[in-house]
Structure 1
Amino acid sequence: MLATPGMGHLIPLAELAKRLASRHGITTTLLTFASTASATQRAFLASLPSTISAQSLPAVDLSDLPPTAAIETRMSEECARSVPALTSILLDLKRTTRLVAFVADLFGADSFDAAAKAGVTNKCLFFPTNLHVLTLILHLPELDGSVTCEFKELPEPLRLPGCVPIPGPDILMPLQDKSDPCYRWMVHHGAKYRDADAVLVNSFDAVEPEAAKILRQPDPTRPTVYPIGPLIKHDNNNNDFAKTPREPCLAWLDAQPDRSVLFVSFGSGGSLPSSEMRELALGLERSGQRFLWVVRSPSDGGAVNDNYYDAESKRDPFAYLPEGFVERTRDTGLVVPSWAPQTKVLAHPATGGFLTHCGWNSVLESLVHGVPMVAWPLYAEQRQNAVMLADESVGAAIRVPEKGKDAERIAAVVRELMEGEGKGAAVRAKVAEMRKAAADGLREGGAAAAALAEVVDKWTTTEDQLMEE
């Protein structure tokens, strides 16, 4: 399995590897890029079970890329330039193991060239986000020819088969500027995905039923699509508090009433401009709701995804909060710098809502634990996710207005989610339904479990036939 840069790509691939081992007896080699060899990643890889080994690809020279190059461009270039090294690694694995499949994630489609050169029979794409985004990328080569303006200038929302209509400005961020090389890379990936034998998607039918229905239908122009999610990271020591110190934020949650706390976090790579940080702080205060906020230094002068490769705050984030805010909210809120154990927080009985950037891993963690969402998207596919989640047909989130993110509007949305009798009540009920559907699908014989079993059966059957020949 090849994980392109970002813990949001690596973690669900590792969860897939765990599931392949526990249910199907398959061992996995996780391949990572030299550019992401951080202490966090090394610690994560070291924590994986013995059925999963890890190997880093050698570094490639990216010095010719401008400092302004988009993350998507850097990841795509690094993958394309790593094809020779990857071919060599796959040939070695073929000599030493029964190599039944190669799996690459969404920015790794060029690595299918390496798999083909190495003679790997089954080439699969692992898509760590949702069916809506997959549908868009699969249609990109034709949209590139038919949409002559910038997507953000589209007079009507984009309508794709089985998908919620997406307004042009909310479409996938790497597509918003056709003059940027990352746009051409995304069109390239859309065409390259067709080299895959199957696409494994980290989503499930209940959250996007119409898209799932259409993508399940056989289509000779694209690979077979298998929703196998939700794949999320589970903390093994969730209930083992006697042996490990209780994180301060969890101890604080222990003292709060059930379903009373709004968890506020913008993922491992997101940050807000200081003006929005201030309005969010005042909005949380005026809402009167309990909150746990993971706060980072602001993105002033940079991009909202400046923390993508390094999740630690660069400056003291507390210095950017309104004067006296921490003291005034001491009885109802807790502010923690940089990081909190998100899955443990979302699983905690006191957590009743999640103000999120709508990164897909965070969305799935929220749905698995039955926590309704306030949508505040930042970058990548997050705005598109927010449109889908807030649409009445899905109804898993309430979106903060894109324009006019002032304290009063933020407070109103937070109050509605946590205790509202209208939209808030509907969202809370819908998320409870999705929690049950997610759990049912992952059980033996459930839709997601059956889809993965079908894929594994094809891997082993194909390899058996080749060995007989």
Structure 2
Amino acid sequence: MVAANKTHIKPHVAVLPSVGMGHLIPLLELAKRLVVEHGMRVSLLVITTNAPLAAQEQLLCSPDLHIVKLPPVDVDKVISSDIDNVLVLTRLCLITEESLRSLKSVLVALGKPRALVTDLFTTQAFDVCNELSIPAYLFSTTSAAFSAFALFLPKLDSDVECEFIDLPEPIQVPGCIPVRTEDLLDQVRNRKIDEYKWFFFHISRLPLASGVFLNSWEDLEPVSLKAIKENPFFRQIPTPPVHPVGPLIKQEETLSTSDVECLEWLDKQPPDSVLFVTLGSGGTLSLEQQTELAWGLELSQQRFIWAVRKPTDATGAGSFFDVGSEENDPKAYLPEGFLSRTQGVGLVVPSWASQVAILGHPSTGGFLSHCGWNSSLESIAHGVPMIAWPLYAEQRMNAAMLVEDVGVAVKPKVEPGRTIVGRQEVDRMVRMVMDGEEGKTIRKRVKELKESAPKAPDISGSSYDSLSSVAKQWKTDDLGP
């Protein structure tokens, strides 16, 4: 009789994102799908330092999706004074490690869920789950190509004595497109520093997962997905079962007064005529680069919406940990007269704009993006071609793939000896994407993927079936409530 009653109780799983909007958003979307489409109860475990103002609006709960905030961490005690925002991953990992000290008691209090899904920088959770006999799954918040590189990195680390950026040839990940050394993510450019040690610690634990969810789909990354599943190297690691479940992207946002004004402005523009410029939740430019970008936009004479953030010369990830809290006045740092000269053609918004709503508007015809994986998927899903402007983390690898492999983006060239993209190059890129022949080619390609994107996670699509197979296993495993 007890067993019969249990069949009516929805299986309970926990989902644990690490710090940052780029991790919170896709894991929240996964949680929603498990609840709405696969009959699960989900506890979303939130690291309470992972709660910028902009993120709080996303944590809307339903009867079967509830938010559990881990006990707060005193960041000042965890982070020593010599670690600043330049070392984004080190800071993130230290905060996360301290937050996860409470994970065991939280999971026990929840009745030991049938599974835990976490992401790449919270793999300490694997140890807790092993102790409690809870299967632990990893959710990769970036591309399949990046996941293949991460799985290959321990082999690369043992075989190569010099720094990877000093290698004379691109890195050949088995079965995948080679990775140029100049496109390598920041965290693997110096193996002597903590950034690399933390990154290596987490990716070396990938084989401990019961399975790996990838925020991608078959039509987007066929080569990388085939390599991870079939190439002898990855089979020998051994690589856990891989489940492409994407695209998992934000479906809607709460619109602010500023967002409504943006959409009303877009309503008055011709179809596919506006370039949307934004560099993610944490991205910033130097004053010099921001000035050149402004002049390039003005020279192009193309319509644009620019969600502009106060510049900083410290790091491209300058707003990662205080996203949503900064205040700025664009008049203080944009070129003198820029706002008045571009009035009517361009719309400048301080700090934030609703990316989902703007990308989904028919007047939006291009996206100048930092190439974070969430933003890349949102752009593709809405059929908007990109100008790739990577800043930090794995964004250069994403940009190279989007330009050369997927064919949905172009990338500006930097003159030899310079690190700044000049205004003439910005002008050329913007005109190319919005009005040029190459722009028409990538627009056609991204429209094809726009058709494919919603089919994959829809009922009977490849990503739906992939997630459904795991959900069925969780429902049948007699591992807890």
For the superposition of Structure 1 and Structure 2, which TM-score range results when normalised by the shorter chain? Answer: over 0.9
| Aligned match of 2:19 | 5
Q: What is the deviation of 1:411?
A: 0.8
Cα distance 1:63–1:331, how it changes in 2: closer, same or farther (>3 A)?
closer
| Aligned match of 1:219 | 235
| Aligned match of 2:318 | 306
Q: How many percent identity over aligned positions?
A: 41
Aligned length: 454
Could you give the per-residue CA deviations for residues 121-147 of structure 1, whole angstroms, max 9, x where no partner exists? x21001111111111111111111122
SS at match of 1:292: strand
Q: What is the deviation of 1:151?
A: 2.2
Cα separation, 2, equivalents of 1:402 and 1:442: 38
Cα distance 1:101–1:282, how it changes in 2: closer, same or farther (>3 A)?
same
Between stretches 447-456 and 82-91, larger displacement belongs to 82-91
| Aligned match of 1:200 | 213
SS at match of 2:91: helix
8 Å contact from structure 2 (residues 253, 357) kept in 1? no
Between stretches 86-95 and 19-28, larger displacement belongs to 86-95
| Aligned match of 1:73 | 90
| Aligned match of 2:366 | 353
Cα separation, 1, equivalents of 2:253 and 2:312: 33
Could you give the per-residue CA deviations for residues 59-114 of structure 1, whole angstroms, max 9, x where no partner exists? 3441447323722122223333344410111112226xxx2210111101111111
Q: What is the deviation of 1:237?
A: 7.2
- Please list every run of 5 or more consecutive structure 2 residues that lacks an aligned counterpart in the other structure: 1-14
Cα distance 1:187–1:428, how it changes in 2: closer, same or farther (>3 A)?
same
SS at match of 1:334: strand
Cα separation, 2, equivalents of 1:428 and 1:246: 25
8 Å contact from structure 1 (residues 139, 190) kept in 2? no
Q: What is the deviation of 1:236?
A: 6.5
Cα separation, 2, equivalents of 1:435 and 1:402: 30
Could you give the per-residue CA deviations for residues 189-208 of structure 1, whole angstroms, max 9, x where no partner exists? 12111110100011112222
Cα distance 1:37–1:214, how it changes in 2: closer, same or farther (>3 A)?
same
| Aligned match of 2:435 | 419
Q: What is the deviation of 1:331?
A: 2.6
Question: Equivalent of 1:428, from 421, 440, 443?
Answer: 443
Cα separation, 2, equivalents of 1:158 and 1:402: 23
Cα distance 1:212–1:402, how it changes in 2: closer, same or farther (>3 A)?
farther
Could you give the per-residue CA deviations for residues 142-167 of structure 1, whole angstroms, max 9, x where no partner exists? 11112222222221111213433221
Q: What is the deviation of 1:245?
A: 9.0
Question: Equivalent of 1:92, from 101, 109, 114?
Answer: 109
- Please list every run of 5 or more consecutive structure 1 residues that lacks an aligned counterpart in the other structure: none
- Cα RMSD between the aligned structures? 2.1
Cα separation, 1, equivalents of 2:40 and 2:136: 16
Spell out the pairing of 1:12-51 with structure 2 (5 A cutoff): 12-45=26-59, 47-51=60-64
Cα distance 1:236–1:357, how it changes in 2: closer, same or farther (>3 A)?
closer
Give the letter for the 1:54 counterpart: I
Question: Equivalent of 1:231, from 248, 266, 276?
Answer: 248
Question: Equivalent of 2:383, from 340, 352, 370?
Answer: 370
Higher relative contact order (CA 8 A, sep 6+): 2
Give the letter for the 1:366 counterpart: S
Spell out the pairing of 1:96-115 with structure 2 (5 A cutoff): 99-115=113-129
Cα separation, 2, equivalents of 1:345 and 1:42: 21
Spell out the pairing of 1:284-303 with structure 2 (5 A cutoff): 284-300=297-313, 302-303=314-315
| Aligned match of 1:174 | 187
Cα separation, 1, equivalents of 2:401 and 2:155: 22
Between stretches 273-282 and 394-403, larger displacement belongs to 394-403
Give the letter for the 1:441 counterpart: A
Q: What is the deviation of 1:402?
A: 4.0
Q: What is the deviation of 1:381?
A: 0.8
Give the letter for the 2:406 counterpart: V
| Aligned match of 1:447 | 462
Could you give the per-residue CA deviations for residues 6-46 of structure 1, whole angstroms, max 9, x where no partner exists? 0111111111011001111111111122322333333322x
